[in-house]
């Protein structure tokens, strides 16, 4: 096909020889099958930030470290330079996470390059060598669902041990490759230790897996692997081969009573202030 404009710089650099076809136009990116040397690879071209949900960007970039303060100020003000900085932080988050996870042995496409807003990585393929289907595109037997669910929980554990929470893990971002499931689409990945949303995101990722595979193997709907994994992680007990049960004892005694009392006192004070303001006006 005629190469799209965004891929021309990579062709000039010699990183891509030819563009074979467009694979997908997802919500955040356009994905192409390309040839590089003798290899078939995948090029992910990020769309501009303006077409993406701003809310999401704010939520996920919280606590993400920005190196220089000019950049941080510009990002906060939303200037053009700021938007660009925000944009490249977003893209490099995916690249960083991919390199980190590939090194940790997580099943992700091997990254090869990141140039001019384009990520070059392995194309995940099925047995026939074609682009692999998403989990959402296949039908499973209950047994296949159980096996894949377990394999993917292992990947979640491996990711967390590498300090990463995916943040958008679902049947749409898992491909069924010839050698098993492969996890993709990581621009919203966060640092497990440094982000206030990490626990919530991990629980949601695992809940998505339970819900999807639970369609085929309903007993998975009752499991609490998310809480179990996060609890082990926090206690420094998340070993690679840890035996997961899917059960989790919610500690009812652990309610932060002082915290609850503080909330109530704050609400009372706020209400009293409101009444005083009303009286002052009357």
Binding residues for Mg ion, rule: CB under 5 A, are: 26, 173, 185
42 binds, among ligand ADP, Mg ion, none (CB under 5 to 8 A by kind): ligand ADP
Residue span binding ligand ADP (CB under 6 A) among the ranges 55-63, 124-132, 138-146, 248-256: 124-132
10 is a site residue for ligand ADP (CB under 6 A) = no
Tell me the residue nearest to ligand ADP as measured from the CB. 26
CB of 50 to Mg ion, least distance (A): 19
Other C-beta atoms lying within 10 Å of the C-beta of residue 146: 16
Stretch that binds ligand ADP, among 25-33, 57-65, 67-75, 254-262 (CB under 6 A): 25-33
132 binds ligand ADP (CB under 6 A): yes
Angle at 103 between CA 163 and CA 149, to 5 degrees: 65
**According to CB under 6 A, which one of 184, 201, 209, 229 is a site residue for ligand ADP?**
184
Give the residue, chosen from 7, 19, 89, 123, that forms a contact with ligand ADP under the rule CB under 6 A. 123
Interface with ligand ADP (CB under 6 A), residue from 121, 153, 202, 209:
121
Of all residues in the shown chain, the one whose CB is closest to Mg ion is 185
Instruction: Tell me whether residue 110 or residue 234 sits nearer to ligand ADP (CB atom).
Output: 110
Exactly one of 6, 73, 83, 134 binds ligand ADP (CB under 6 A); which one? 134
What 3 state SS string does the chain have?
A: CCCCHHHHHHHHCCCCCEEEEEEEECCCEEEEEEEECCEEEEEEEECCHHHCCHHHHHHHHCCCCCCCHHHHHHHHHCCHHHHHHHHHHHHHHHHHHHHHHHHCCCCCCCEEEEECCEEEEECCECCCCCECCEHHHCCCCHHHHHHHHHHHHHHHHHHHHCCEECCCCCCCCEEEECCEEEECCCCCCEECCCCCCHHHHHHHHHHHHHHHHHCCCHHHHHCCHHHHHHHHHHCCCCCCCCCCCCCCCCCHHHCCHHHHHHHHHHHHHHHHHHHHHHHHHC
The CB-of-149 to ligand ADP minimum distance in angstroms stands at: 20
Residue from 118, 124, 140, 165 binding ligand ADP (CB under 6 A)? 124
Q: Does position 131 bind ligand ADP by CB under 6 A?
A: yes
Q: What CA–CA distance (Å, rounded) separates 138 from 132?
A: 11
Residue 6 touching ligand ADP (CB under 6 A): no
Q: Is 185 in the site for ligand ADP (CB under 6 A)?
A: yes
Residues that bind ligand ADP (CB under 6 A): 23-24, 26-29, 31, 42, 44, 109, 121-124, 131-132, 134, 172-173, 175, 184-185
């Amino acid at each position: 096909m005629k190469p799209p404009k965004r891929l021309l710089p990579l062709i000039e650099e010699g990183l891509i020889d030819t563009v074979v076809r467009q694979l997908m136009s997802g919500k955040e990116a356009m994905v192409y099958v390309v040839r590089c040397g003798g290899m078939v690879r995948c090029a992910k071209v990020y769309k501009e930030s303006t077409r993406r949900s701003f809310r999401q960007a704010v939520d996920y970039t919280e606590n993400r470290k920005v190196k220089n303060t000019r950049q941080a100020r510009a990002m906060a003000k939303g200037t053009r330079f700021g938007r660009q900085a925000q944009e490249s932080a977003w893209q490099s988050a995916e690249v960083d996470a991919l390199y980190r996870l590939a090194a940790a042995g997580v099943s992700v496409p091997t990254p090869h390059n990141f140039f001019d807003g384009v990520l070059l990585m392995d194309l995940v393929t099925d047995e026939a060598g074609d682009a692999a289907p998403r989990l959402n595109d296949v039908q499973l037997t209950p047994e296949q669902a159980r096996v894949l669910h377990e394999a993917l929980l292992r990947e979640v554990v491996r990711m967390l041990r590498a300090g990463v929470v995916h943040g958008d893990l679902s049947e749409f971002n898992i491909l069924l490759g010839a050698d098993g499931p492969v996890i993709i689409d990581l621009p919203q990945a966060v640092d497990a230790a440094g982000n206030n949303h990490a626990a919530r995101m991990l629980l949601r990722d695992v809940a998505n897996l339970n819900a999807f595979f639970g369609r085929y193997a309903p007993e998975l709907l009752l499991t609490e692997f998310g809480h179990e994994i996060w609890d082990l992680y926090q206690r420094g007990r998340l070993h690679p081969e840890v035996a997961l049960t899917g059960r989790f004892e919610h500690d009812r005694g652990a309610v932060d009573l002082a915290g609850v009392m503080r909330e109530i006192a704050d609400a009372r004070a706020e209400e009293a202030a409101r009444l005083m303001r009303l009286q002052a006006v009357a």
